[in-house]
Amino acid sequence: MQLLARLRAGLAALQWRDFALAQAPCSFCGPSIFVRFNRDETGVRCLRCAASAVHVAMGWALRAQRLDLAATDACEFSARGPLVAYLHRHARSLKVSEYFADLPSGAMRDGVRCEDMQRLSYADASFDLVTHTEVLEHVPDDALALAELHRVLRPGGRLLFTVPLFDSDSTVERAYLRDGVIEHRLAPSYHRDPLRSGEGILAFRDYGSDILTRLQTAGFVAPSLYIAPQKIPWITTPRIVVIAQK
Ligand SMILES: [Zn+2]
């Protein structure tokens, strides 16, 4: 059923003149075939697990950490997808969640736990590994979120995540949330996944390389940028994964 929904979403986003298939290794599945539905980078997927370029980069970054996943309690800020499936298979335990604006952290909707990264319901030092992809730029107060991610990690625990990173030293704040009202400093920028339905989500900022300083401010040590090996044809921009440790 999920495969059918995925296929339907892919077909809806399909531009026939851009359609292409190519063999490439997937960090989750091993040897695989990638399909290009359209020229949008998110329109490139692993045919076996539906991983996007971002997910594949996360997979390589995770492997590079050489963690003993069988002894790892993990936390991922999405409830499905190839990264969730991979962690479900290999980690000792996995907590997954989505963000629902109208629910408090820890509440459930249709079997899915809600977590607001700025106010997590998890206890201190719950996890050895925390991951998220393309989430932090949509969180109104990222300092609060990073402090929370630090709190729920155990000493020595790793944080691995992706955000769109811009070729700039300084992060550009695009919008603020004050007293529940969004104030735009720049034209609103919405990110959307063409293979998922629903409207786009507002990006509160465009991160520059000072994201590493933000991690240090939140208490993380040795923050670094991992450049994932680029094995998927058609993806030309290097995919970067941000890594830090508690
Ligand atoms: Zn795959």
Domain boundaries, the chain: 68-245
Q: Domain 68-245 adopts which CATH fold?
A: Rossmann fold (3.40.50)
Give residue 48 CA to ligand 1 midpoint distance, Å.
5
Give residue 217 CA to ligand 1 midpoint distance, Å.
35
The arithmetic mean of pLDDT across residues 167-180, rounded, is 94
Strands 127-133 and 73-76 come out as parallel
Identify the CA nearest to 68 among candidates 129, 113, 148, 149.
Answer: 129
Per-residue pLDDT tens digits for 67-86: 999 999 999 999 999 999 99
Give residue 86 CA to ligand 1 midpoint distance, Å.
10
d(CA 240, CA 134): 11
Percentage of the chain exceeding pLDDT 70: 92
Per-residue pLDDT tens digits for 127-159: 999 999 999 999 999 999 999 999 999 999 999
The arithmetic mean of pLDDT across residues 119-123, rounded, is 98
pLDDT (0 to 100) of residue 1:
47
Q: Which residue has the higher pLDDT, 4 or 232?
A: 232
Does this model's pTM top 0.85? yes
What φ, ψ does residue 96 adopt, rounded to 5°? -120, 155
Give residue 109 CA to ligand 1 midpoint distance, Å.
28
Contact between 133 and 55 (Cβ < 8 Å): yes
Give residue 184 CA to ligand 1 midpoint distance, Å.
38
Please tell me the least confidently modeled range out of 9-23, 49-63, 87-101: 9-23
The arithmetic mean of pLDDT across residues 171-179, rounded, is 94
Give residue 159 CA to ligand 1 midpoint distance, Å.
22
Q: Is the pLDDT assigned to residue 168 strictly greater than 50?
A: yes
Give residue 32 CA to ligand 1 midpoint distance, Å.
7
d(CA 239, CA 223): 16
Give residue 148 CA to ligand 1 midpoint distance, Å.
31
d(CA 83, CA 91): 11
Tell me what the pLDDT averaged over the chain comes to. Answer: 92
Strands 221-227 and 240-245 come out as antiparallel
d(CA 242, CA 228): 11
**What band does 162 get if pLDDT is binned at 50, 70 and 90?**
very high
Give residue 157 CA to ligand 1 midpoint distance, Å.
26
pLDDT (0 to 100) of residue 169:
95
Give residue 2 CA to ligand 1 midpoint distance, Å.
15
pLDDT (0 to 100) of residue 16:
78
Give residue 181 CA to ligand 1 midpoint distance, Å.
40
Residues 6+ apart with CB under 8 A from 226: 60, 61, 64, 240, 241, 242, 243
Give residue 118 CA to ligand 1 midpoint distance, Å.
31
Per-residue pLDDT tens digits for 18-41: 899 999 999 999 999 999 988 888
- What would you measure as the largest C-alpha separation in the chain, in angstroms? 51
